[in-house]
Amino acid sequence: MTRAQVVKKAFKTSLPVMAGYVVLAIGFSLLLGEKGFGFWWALAMSVFIYAGSMQYLTTGLLAGSVSLVSAAVTTFMVNARHLFYGVSMLEKYKDMGPFKPYIIFGLTDETYSLLCSDAEDLPLAQRRLYYFLVSLFNQIYWVTGTVIGSVIGRFLPFAATGIDFALTALFVTVFVQQWKQTDDHVPALIGLGATTLCLVLFGGNSFLIPAMLLISAALFALKVIRSRKQQKEDADE
């Protein structure tokens, strides 16, 4: 694959994120603007925080002028799921060379779902460039939406209601894609089941960390059960 083809492939991969990010970032800028924070604030947040749902929440933290400790705790609660992304990308991002800091920084929900099962067959040099570009394109969409939102957002018509479903749809397609790639559906069902259970038990604001703990415990149990079974089969032979 030539360099130009890698760029093209990365662009094509990132397309599903484009609409969702631009629209959600416009919404973020508008919300932040309503709280009295203009263009430069919005831009700084989209460049340095670069985490969608957290930026929405941070508009509230800013308006309420909360303490730095509670800002840190809230961020930890909301973004702890990024620990999972890192653990599952340890192998794939191992040899990313000079691109590594940026692609780790840019590992959002959406970038993760585009890259977690993609491009494993590319040679290393191209894979580096590809992961870097997909990460970068996504942040460019996010920053572009932020700029559009704070500059002309108030003049946009509201017919875009519902377009943010694009990101939900993206996660569903990746889920289905992964489902088709494997015969072992237990991990996927653990993810769905454990999270649903915690949502019902703990409610929409505080279910993520319990869900992560439950998923970790269930996956660990699955490993133990399977290796015991394996040992038993080995012993029977």
Partner 1 sequence: MNKLHSALIIAVVSLVTAALRFAPFLLFGKRRRKDGGLISWMSAVLPFAIMGMLVVFCLKDISFTSAADWMPQLICCALVAALQYFWDNTLLSIICGTAVYMLLVQLVFI
Tell me the per-residue interface mask from 97 to 136 with partner 1, x by CB under 8 A, - otherwise: ---x---xx-x-x--xx--xx-------------------
Q: Binding segment for partner 1 among 1-9, 58-66, 122-130, 140-148 (CB under 8 A)? A: 58-66
Task: Decide whether 50 or 131 has the Cβ nearer to partner 1.
Answer: 50
Give the whole-angstrom CA distance, residue 145 versus residue 198.
33
Q: Closest approach of Cβ 67 to partner 1, in Å?
A: 9
Residue of 137, 118, 169, 170 whose CA lies nearest to 14? 137
Site for partner 1 in 163-202 (CB under 8 A): 163, 165-180, 182, 185, 187-196, 199
Q: Binding segment for partner 1 among 1-9, 123-131, 146-154, 212-220 (CB under 8 A)? A: 212-220
Task: Decide whether 3 or 182 has the Cβ nearer to partner 1.
Answer: 182
Give the whole-angstrom CA distance, residue 133 versus residue 152.
28
Give the whole-angstrom CA distance, residue 44 versus residue 217.
38
Single residue of 2, 36, 97, 232 touching partner 1 by CB under 8 A = 36
DSSP class of residue 98 equals G
The answer to the question of residue 231 lying near partner 1 (CB under 8 A) is no
- DSSP-H helix ranges across the chain: 3-34, 39-48, 52-64, 68-79, 81-89, 100-105, 109-115, 124-152, 165-181, 186-202, 208-236
* Cα-Cα-Cα-Cα dihedral sign, residues 85, 90, 96, 101: positive
Distances (CA, A) of 150 to 13, 28, 37, 46, 63: 27, 9, 9, 12, 17
The owner of tokens 């831009």 is 43
Site for partner 1 in 67-96 (CB under 8 A): 68, 71-72, 75-76, 79-91, 93-94
Q: Closest approach of Cβ 236 to partner 1, in Å?
A: 20
Task: Decide whether 3 or 168 has the Cβ nearer to partner 1.
Answer: 168
Q: What is the crossing angle of helices 81-89 and 208-236, to 10°?
A: 40
Single residue of 121, 123, 161, 235 touching partner 1 by CB under 8 A = 161
Give the whole-angstrom CA distance, residue 27 versus residue 155.
13
Site for partner 1 in 129-148 (CB under 8 A): none
Q: Closest approach of Cβ 125 to partner 1, in Å?
A: 20
Single residue of 6, 28, 29, 58 touching partner 1 by CB under 8 A = 58
Single residue of 1, 15, 221, 225 touching partner 1 by CB under 8 A = 15
